[in-house]
Amino acid sequence: MSGKEEAKSGIKRKNTGKGGHDDKHSAPSGQGNICVVCRFRPLNQNELNHGGSNVCADFHPNKKSVTIVTEGDGVTNKNEFTFDRVFDINSSQIEVYNQAAKPIIESVMEGFNGTVFAYGQTGSGKTFTMQGPDIEDIESQGIVPRMVRTVFNRIENSSENIEFTVKVSMMEIYMEKV
């Protein structure tokens, strides 16, 4: 197996109003309350050095399903997984942001609670996706700097009669300790 799964971003959207998704209080994204996307990263140098040649995944044209192909004992196994969206190894940071995070920020700016989180095994690309290799670089910056920029752009373009309070806190769970 030469491919490696990247971060899976679980996006949970919580409606602060009463009623269900079709209710007038619902978040307006039209994507439901929870959206799960899966991103694959390209092979790294280490994997290439160990004989990896291509990612062991077949990406479906519908961009929602992926088939993982594994071989062992002369048998080829294929397992298909379906998500709200699958991002292949050529996906860009902006593409991931627009699909997986921007709708949450838009809902937050309308008063809904929202969460974006990434999980995946070590080295799978969580930090690359959430933070980016260079947060100052407009092309390669990840979800967090893009979200922050979107929030402040929205505030700047809002009516002067609306008061916003922005609070930032941070915690890291590392080795199962907060």
Report the binding-site residues for ATP: 120-127
For 68, the token pair is 């993982």
Alpha helices in the chain (DSSP H): 45-49, 93-100, 102-108, 126-130, 143-156
**Sheet of 65-72, strand order:** 57-59, 65-72, 75-82
For ligand ATP, give the closer residue by CB, 15 or 127.
Answer: 127
Q: What are phi and psi of 154, to 5 degrees?
A: -60, -45
**CA–CA gap between residue 80 and residue 22 (Å, rounded):** 31
For ligand ATP, give the closer residue by CB, 6 or 146.
Answer: 6
Answer yes or no whether residue 146 interacts with ligand ATP by CB under 6 A: no
Find the binder of ligand ATP among 69, 127, 144, 148 (CB under 6 A): 127
Answer yes or no whether residue 97 interacts with ligand ATP by CB under 6 A: no
Number of C-alpha atoms within 13 angstroms, CB side, residue 49? Answer: 3
Find the binder of ligand ATP among 3, 103, 114, 125 (CB under 6 A): 125
Answer yes or no whether residue 15 interacts with Mg ion by CB under 5 A: no
Answer yes or no whether residue 128 interacts with ligand ATP by CB under 6 A: yes
Interface contacts to ligand ATP, rule CB under 6 A = 6-7, 41-42, 44, 120, 122-128, 133
